[in-house]
Chains A and B, each alone.
Chain A
Amino acid sequence: GAGVSQSPSNKVTEKGKDVELRCDPISGHTALYWYRQSLGQGLEFLIYFQGNSAPDKSGLPSDRFSAERTGGSVSTLTIQRTQQEDSAVYLCASSPGLGPITQYFGPGTRLTVL
């Protein structure tokens, strides 16, 4: 079956521009997660959704970062006024629910801010 998909796979942008990253979770998965992975580093948790609701946004690095999810499916992560330190791979994962349940990851979007 189809896994988690993300688009674009690569994004190169200029400092100060806004970018939008998209995640399509596995069909039927109610929970969706965003992570960031810097070069050679582990994954940094950003935000999660249960349905369309994001109960805790404290993991977002700054107020330039926002995320939304509509229809309990597709999610977008928006970064406004991008900075060079935003360069990373942004990974999305989904799971059938919250808690101790395996999260399935997409291939990620590699963001490069020049």
Chain B
Amino acid sequence: GESVGLHLPTLSVQEGDNSIINCAYSNSASDYFIWYKQESGKGPQFIIDIRSNMDKRQGQRVTVLLNKTVKHLSLQIAATQPGDSAVYFCAENLHSGGGADGLTFGKGTHLIIQP
């Protein structure tokens, strides 16, 4: 089964509000995490990443928090805009060297921004 999952399949927030998307992972050996945004009909677009030696990283209007103790990842989007409406995926990478080197994705959360 998947080692990365999301708590909520759909999240609806008012434009201008902050949103938080959560993600749980089960592989404590994962060393790299990425949040992707996927708009309808497009491939996933990189938002922000974080390595396992960090617990917080900030970008433009986005912040990723990593809690390794409880194996939890979250994406905070500040002052949401209509263009933020999309499906958001968290993904983890375990660079095993000799094995599969792809990302493991959760099923995604659909973020809906209400006007």
Contact = CB atoms under 8 A, between A and B. Distances in A.
Nearest to A35: B102
Contacts of A41: 107-108
Interface stretch (B12-20, B37-45, B63-71, B72-80): B37-45
A31 B91 CA distance: 17
A43 B105 contact: yes
Given A4-B43, A41-B107, A107-B42, A102 B101 contact: no
Contacts of A62: none
B43 A105 contact: yes
A42 B101 contact: no
Contacts of A59: 100, 102
Nearest to A49: B101
A5 to B, nearest CB: 10
Contacts of B104: 45
Interface in A39-78: 41-48, 50, 55-56, 58-59
Contacts of B107: 41-42
Contacts of A98: 95, 101
Given A55-B98, A59-B100, A99-B93, A104 B46 contact: yes
Interface of A: 4, 31, 33, 35, 41-48, 50, 55-56, 58-59, 91, 93, 98-100, 102-108
